[in-house]
Structure 1
Amino acid sequence: MTKIAVLVSGGGTNLQALIDAQNRGELKNGEITAVISSKAGAYALERAQKAGIPGYVVARKEYDSNRAMTQALVARLKELDIGLVVLAGFMHILTEEMVAAYPNAILNVHPALIPSFCGAGYYGLHVHEKALAYGVKVTGATVHFVNEEPDGGPIVLQKAVDILPGDTPEVLQRRVMEQAEWIILPKAVSLFCEGRLSVEGRTVLIQEGEL
């Protein structure tokens, strides 16, 4: 059984999607055993508590750099014997110590079809504002492995979502979450825990089975 830690900074909607999938038995061979927040008082910690999952705080403001915070996070993850790290609305850049400690074992969900609308500065509502401003007809979400480049790691799963007339960034954000993020993130986590993912260069290969 792979022990999963979910890293959060805010409300934890993607965390809730993972908790719901776990409760439905959809995280095969995996279990969320820790939720770690970058700030105290994040609502995601309440979600974890309600689900009976231990919550921890590694607060960014307590460290003088992202590197120092990353080193503290790695130490906590190792202490908890974590096998998979999931970034679910974690709002801080992690330095190379994290990737070195968990190569191809950190998953992130991004609210666009990478390589569109991704990289430094593209997070949260900004992604949807940019997609609407550009006038694309289709957006979506991507789950990818994390490497040293923001949103630059090998892609595991993607799901497209149509942009509709009259969409606002907020409306589009909700649709992308409901129709893409909350579906493909639990799937990707389960595939990892089942040992069905392998990485060759930039390509993630998925062993046959149910998706």
Structure 2
Amino acid sequence: MLKVLVLVSGGGTNLQAIFDGIDSGLIKNTVVEGVISNNKNAYALERAKKRGVKALCLSPKEYADRGAFNEAFLETVREMAPDLIVLAGFLVVIPPAMIKEYQNRIINIHPSLIPAFSGTGFYGLKVHEGALARGVKIVGATVHFVDEGTDTGPIILQKSVMVDPGDTPETLQRRVMEEAEWQILPEAINLIANDRLEIEGNQVRIKEKE
């Protein structure tokens, strides 16, 4: 059984997609062990509590400096002993020590087709604002492993979404979530839980079902 820890800063719609995927059988052999947010008001924490999942708030603001926070953050994660860490809209930089310790065991969902509109400064609504300003016709979402860079780790899954005339950043954000993020994040977790991924360098290969 794959034990998953979800890190989230906001409403937790991707967290809900994971819960729904487990309930529907789309995600097999998986349990969400805990949820951590840097925001005490994040609705994601309520989603976790309603489901009986351990929910914690851990904010950099509560520590003397980022080093102290990083140490407490890593120790908290160790105590939960996850097999997989899922970043589902988590707006805190993951400490290098955590990335090293959990190499190829941290995944992130990003609301664009990486490498487009990714990297430093591209998060949340800013991704969709950038896409509309550039006038692209196709956007989407990407699930990737986390490495030391920003949105540079091996790509697991991507799904495209068409841009509609008259789209605003808000309408585009919602449609990318509904048509891409909520589909490929549960799918990626299921692939990991059932040992169907192989990583070679910066490439991910999906193995056929046995």
Q: TM-score, normalised by structure 2?
A: 0.96
Q: Distance in 2 between matches of 1:160 and 1:66?
A: 36
Q: Hey, what does 1:126 align to over in structure 2? A: 126
CA contact (8 A) 1:144 1:153 kept: yes
In the TM superposition, 1:138-177 aligns within 5 A as: 138-177=138-177
Letter aligned with residue 121 of structure 1: G
TM superposition shift of 1:67: 3.9
SS in 2 for 1:198: strand
SS in 1 for 2:35: strand
Q: Distance in 1 between matches of 2:149 and 2:122?
A: 13
- 1:49-68 superposed Cα distances (whole Å, 9 cap, x missing partner): 11221111211211244443
Q: Distance in 2 between matches of 1:78 and 1:206?
A: 28
> Is the aligned partner of 1:21 residue 2:60?
no
Q: TM-score, normalised by structure 1?
A: 0.96
Tell me the percent identity. Answer: 53
Q: Distance in 2 between matches of 1:146 and 1:59?
A: 21
The gaps in structure 1 that reach 5 residues or longer are none
- 1:10-66 superposed Cα distances (whole Å, 9 cap, x missing partner): 111111111111111222121101001112121110011112211112112112444
- 1:157-176 superposed Cα distances (whole Å, 9 cap, x missing partner): 00000001110000000000
- The runs of 4+ residues in structure 1 deviating greater than 3 Å are 64-68
TM superposition shift of 1:130: 0.3
Letter aligned with residue 28 of structure 2: K
Letter aligned with residue 188 of structure 1: A
Q: Distance in 2 between matches of 1:198 and 1:63?
A: 38
Q: Distance in 1 between matches of 2:73 and 2:172?
A: 32
CA contact (8 A) 1:111 1:176 kept: yes
Q: Distance in 2 between matches of 1:69 and 1:22?
A: 32
Q: Hey, what does 2:112 align to over in structure 1? A: 112
In the TM superposition, 1:1-211 aligns within 5 A as: 1-209=1-209
CA contact (8 A) 1:3 1:84 kept: yes
SS in 1 for 2:72: helix
Letter aligned with residue 109 of structure 2: V
Q: Distance in 2 between matches of 1:67 and 1:2?
A: 30
How many matched pairs?
Answer: 210
TM superposition shift of 1:123: 0.3
